[in-house]
Structure 1
């Protein structure tokens, strides 16, 4: 059945998207000729993420502290905590990990080196095992059942298939290990916030390294083969951005 209100909404979204394309037309042209993505990956996105992370950590610090409070519960029988971080980026999560925690860092983009080394220097209470340039969907260099915890924050928004990452997390976790997550997600369907996420989606994804504003990531977590899922919908108030809605929690293998 034809719904005038829905048709008007869709038309408004398309019109506003077209306006955004005109506003940043040079970037779309650079992307068309194949120049934007190398520049974005190697220069723009690492610079942006370094600045964004500083502001984001101020807003999310309390929630992250609460999230990682349960890490000691997942130490191995020997008392060690072997932790794999998928999409380490600038290393902003290091401050929340336990002293002596043995960390394996992975990221598909090796261009974060300067800010990553800075955060490693600030967090010398940790043991840094190795850094792997690898996508979260393919962590074959990490042995199965070798990790007590896997951490993935603000990563699932920009991957092609979140379910593939969750399968790899389950593979590398030992039985009883935990997968920790904090991700921005799509707003409630009845809100204006979702409307603006839908308007901004194509342009935002182009500029910010494939980040998708309208993902319902909680569905992939609910469908994954974890024995327990502790998930909450929450808000991280980032002014002038469309990424306020979040999910936070951990899942046990």
Structure 2
């Protein structure tokens, strides 16, 4: 009886979700207009300030998960060689503290306004060797040579790239054979949950708050089908606000 009841209710919930999403979209019309005429680009200058503060808060909540995830980075160091790591969407550099000492780091981000905050993170983490900062999107990292790095790191980035599949193709291109892609991303919730409802309803406004962030992506499906030789992926419920509570983390080997 309970299953039958749920089957009857879910289509109504879907319609209700669509109506609520439409209402939020209407409320966001000024933002849509500003984005269309280019005024929202001004946020690119302000976003690094917000991201720097939010990332520190995120690390307090998720630091144990990052420590666990990045604890195996050194396993991908080739004997007698320096571990070379590239971070996509490095932002303000709040992942640096989790990288092993002596690691050579290449930073990429599409927003050049992060450089000021990167310098601060670099000075706080002088156990690392910083090679360069490249202004580039995840979909186009042509400045990075083929098969030139041991590790690619991507945290809270695949939610905002325009093309996840192309970004993962770039990851595979720049990873050496046997190298690994480490990821920690928030994803869409199970359709049977209220979190799924909240994610879809708030998405029109969340897009602007998160500088292009999409909370409704099934990111794990892209990673699973990208063509890695081995994949260790798990879903977790992060101790965060509902809209970004569902997460995936793990690593994939080329």
Per the normalisation by structure 1, the TM-score is: 0.92
Correspondence for 2:173 among 171, 174, 178 = 171
The residue that corresponds to 2:44 in the other structure is 41
Give the deviation of 1:4 after TM superposition: 6.1
Q: How does 1:108-119 map to 2 (within 5 A)?
A: 108-119=110-121
* Cα-to-partner distance string for 1:125-144 (whole Å, 9 max, x where unaligned): 00000000011111111111
Partner secondary structure for residue 101 of structure 2: coil
Correspondence for 2:106 among 104, 107, 111 = 104
The separation in 2 between residues aligned to 1:68 and 1:27, in whole angstroms, is: 38
The residue that corresponds to 1:16 in the other structure is 20
Contact 2:76 2:151 in 1 (8 A): yes
49-58 or 24-33, which deviates more: 24-33
Give the deviation of 1:71 after TM superposition: 0.8
Query: Is 1:80 paired with 2:82?
Result: yes
Give the deviation of 1:70 after TM superposition: 0.5
Partner secondary structure for residue 205 of structure 1: helix
The residue that corresponds to 1:56 in the other structure is 58
The alignment yields a C-alpha RMSD, in angstroms, of 1.7
Per the normalisation by structure 2, the TM-score is: 0.92
The residue that corresponds to 1:242 in the other structure is 243
Tell me the matched-pair count.
248
18-27 or 50-59, which deviates more: 18-27
Correspondence for 2:232 among 225, 230, 233 = 230
Unaligned runs of 5+ in 1: none
Contact 1:40 1:207 in 2 (8 A): no
The residue that corresponds to 1:92 in the other structure is 94
The residue that corresponds to 2:3 in the other structure is none
The separation in 1 between residues aligned to 2:123 and 2:158, in whole angstroms, is: 27
Unaligned runs of 5+ in 2: 1-6
The separation in 1 between residues aligned to 2:168 and 2:36, in whole angstroms, is: 32
The separation in 1 between residues aligned to 2:135 and 2:49, in whole angstroms, is: 19
Partner secondary structure for residue 211 of structure 2: coil
